[in-house]
Chains A and B, each alone.
Chain A
Amino acid sequence: MSATARQWLDDIRALPLPENIRIMNVCGGHERSITMAGLRGALPDNIELIPGPGCPVCVCPEEDVYEAIQIALHEDVILTAFGDMLRVPVNVPKDAIRSLEQAKASGADIRPVASPMESVQIAHDNPDKPVVFFATGFETTTAPVAAMLAEGTPDNLYVLLSGRLTWPAVAMLLDSEEAGFDALVAPGHVATVMGADEWQFVIDHHKMPAAVAGFTPESLLAAMYSTLRQKIEQRPFLDNCYPEVVTTGGNTSAKKHLSHVMKVVDANWRGVGIIPDSGFALTEAYAGHDARKQYPGYADTARKRAGQMPPGCDCARVVLGKIYPNECRLYGKACTPRTPIGPCMVSDEGACRIWWAGGVRESAA
């Protein structure tokens, strides 16, 4: 740990801390830095760091993954998806294909990509074949997908969009009877794109301390220090501890493309249910690139229900910050990165996977 990070830790220890304070982060990148830097162990015991809804792979609804699998299996297409999505399992009868990885093994042309540009290149290289880009992610990832479409894409590229907005999930938690946290560390790259002011509601509507953080231990500790001071002084305000790239209003080009290419709609979160105004859908102007319009027969509406995690899997409660990863009964027993049961153990941004990678092997269930 750097000298600056150690100084922040000393500053935090010197604060007249409350008996117990719970700080939630809502970004897999934040949780990864916190776990890998060992911040939980380094901070005083009365500070709880809670991983919240920060994993887009984990909340991607089961029906969307199922739809992608079915399109890849039954249509003569190339399906591209971010690598994390390939191993996400859906609930199907035993012996049926339960992931994109299994669909690929059975012959479907499924290609992992790391960037929307790779999907565009694949469409260019295969002009006679439709390419379906299964685009999952939060604002940081959905904005580049919007930019890709706004810039112009080959006619044979279709987007199966499963984009989500982060703040409505936090708003839903704060509007519930028991939010489960006392301060918020807001996601740095979501705020880079959308603007820090997207998080102002936490202070205005809920009088809760909040600070935007970057991904280094220094920036995260600075944000934690800020929220702790805000709490102690009872003077909540939205702090920006990632001023290198985060501005109040965000990236204007990115937001312009998002609003032109996509509209905000109610959306289902896996295991959580419908959250109002929390998803993206393509606007009419881009309907020609909408995979759901091109291949309408695969949306299985019967699957659209909350709580579709695999039996015994507590991913939904992990995502909402209600329990820690190792409080799930399956953690480290039936569910490990090698044989994941739920999406939180699949994705690099899933809290279960991060805790496992960080060396947490003991179940607390």
Chain B
Amino acid sequence: MCLGIPMQIKTIDGFLARCEAKGVERDVNLFMLQDDQVSPGDYVVVHIGYAIQKMTEQEARSAWEIYDEMLAAEHA
């Protein structure tokens, strides 16, 4: 349950954001980042539907790349 997925924020409505990762969209709660400035376009680590931290685009892309590799290895 501790795996977090990097996602990009598309839109924000109050503490609810529509986020996207590799074509998959999800509603993500931003209440745990209320002390941070978050805007559409930003990247966040999402765990059980809640954004737990911001990250850079480069970090998100490299995490996706490595997760893809791991999933491919798992299904090989």
Q: Determine which of B2, B45, B54 lies in contact with A187 in the assembled complex, contact meaning CB atoms within 8 Å.
A: B2
> Are the C-beta atoms of B47 and A190 separated by less than 8 Å?
no
> Are the C-beta atoms of B35 and A252 separated by less than 8 Å?
yes
CB distance from B29 to the nearest CB of A (A): 6
> Are the C-beta atoms of A253 and B35 separated by less than 8 Å?
yes
With A28-B1, A84-B1, A217-B66 known as contacts, the answer to whether A115 contacts B52 (CB < 8 A) is no
Q: Determine which of A57, A148, A216 lies in contact with B63 in the assembled complex, contact meaning CB atoms within 8 Å.
A: A216
Q: Is A179 close to B, CB under 8 A?
A: no
* Chain A positions within 8 Å of B45 at CB level: 189, 192, 245
Q: Determine which of A82, A214, A215 lies in contact with B1 in the assembled complex, contact meaning CB atoms within 8 Å.
A: A82
> Are the C-beta atoms of A138 and B59 separated by less than 8 Å?
no
CB distance from A181 to the nearest CB of B (A): 20
Q: Once the chains are docked, how many angstroms separate the CA of A251 from the CA of B55?
A: 13
Q: Once the chains are docked, how many angstroms separate the CA of A214 from the CA of B66?
A: 12
> Are the C-beta atoms of A33 and B1 separated by less than 8 Å?
no
Q: Determine which of B49, B69, B70, B74 lies in contact with A115 in the assembled complex, contact meaning CB atoms within 8 Å.
A: B49
CB distance from A321 to the nearest CB of B (A): 17
> Are the C-beta atoms of B73 and A253 separated by less than 8 Å?
no
> Are the C-beta atoms of B31 and A151 separated by less than 8 Å?
yes
Q: Is A244 close to B, CB under 8 A?
A: yes
> Are the C-beta atoms of A189 and B50 separated by less than 8 Å?
no
* Chain A positions within 8 Å of B67 at CB level: 216
Q: Is A47 close to B, CB under 8 A?
A: no
> Are the C-beta atoms of B52 and A140 separated by less than 8 Å?
yes
Closest residue to A349 on the B side, CB-wise?
B1
> Are the C-beta atoms of B36 and A137 separated by less than 8 Å?
no
Q: Is B21 close to A, CB under 8 A?
A: no
* Chain A positions within 8 Å of B15 at CB level: 151
Q: Once the chains are docked, how many angstroms separate the CA of A189 from the CA of B27?
A: 20
Q: Once the chains are docked, how many angstroms separate the CA of A118 from the CA of B28?
A: 11
Q: Is A208 close to B, CB under 8 A?
A: no
**Quick one: which of A1-45 are within 8 Å of B by CB?**
2, 27-29, 32-33, 36-37
With A2-B66, A150-B31, A218-B66 known as contacts, the answer to whether A29 contacts B48 (CB < 8 A) is no
With A114-B48, A244-B56 known as contacts, the answer to whether A215 contacts B31 (CB < 8 A) is no
Closest residue to B36 on the A side, CB-wise?
A253
Q: Once the chains are docked, how many angstroms separate the CA of A214 from the CA of B50?
A: 18
Closest residue to B45 on the A side, CB-wise?
A245
> Are the C-beta atoms of A117 and B49 separated by less than 8 Å?
yes
> Are the C-beta atoms of B66 and A143 separated by less than 8 Å?
no
Q: Once the chains are docked, how many angstroms separate the CA of A190 from the CA of B3?
A: 10
Q: Once the chains are docked, how many angstroms separate the CA of A342 from the CA of B53?
A: 34
Q: Once the chains are docked, how many angstroms separate the CA of A253 from the CA of B15?
A: 13
Q: Is A141 close to B, CB under 8 A?
A: yes
CB distance from B58 to the nearest CB of A (A): 9
> Are the C-beta atoms of B49 and A245 separated by less than 8 Å?
no
Q: Once the chains are docked, how many angstroms separate the CA of A27 from the CA of B4?
A: 13
Q: Once the chains are docked, how many angstroms separate the CA of A312 from the CA of B24?
A: 43
* Chain B positions within 8 Å of A348 at CB level: 1
> Are the C-beta atoms of A137 and B53 separated by less than 8 Å?
no
> Are the C-beta atoms of A116 and B50 separated by less than 8 Å?
yes
Q: Is A144 close to B, CB under 8 A?
A: yes
With A253-B34, A253-B36 known as contacts, the answer to whether A190 contacts B2 (CB < 8 A) is yes
> Are the C-beta atoms of A137 and B1 separated by less than 8 Å?
yes
Q: Once the chains are docked, how many angstroms separate the CA of A215 from the CA of B67?
A: 9
Q: Once the chains are docked, how many angstroms separate the CA of A33 from the CA of B63?
A: 13
Closest residue to A57 on the B side, CB-wise?
B1
**Quick one: which of B32-76 are within 8 Å of A by CB?**
32-36, 45, 47-50, 52-56, 59, 63, 66-67, 69-70, 73-74
Q: Which 3 A-B pairs have the closest CB atoms?
A: A115-B49, A144-B50, A245-B53
- 27 A-B interface contacts by CB (under 8 A): A28-B1, A29-B2, A57-B1, A82-B1, A114-B48, A115-B50, A117-B27, A118-B49, A138-B1, A140-B1, A143-B50, A144-B50, A147-B50, A148-B29, A151-B29, A188-B2, A189-B2, A189-B52, A192-B45, A216-B67, A217-B66, A218-B66, A251-B33, A253-B33, A254-B32, A254-B52, A357-B74
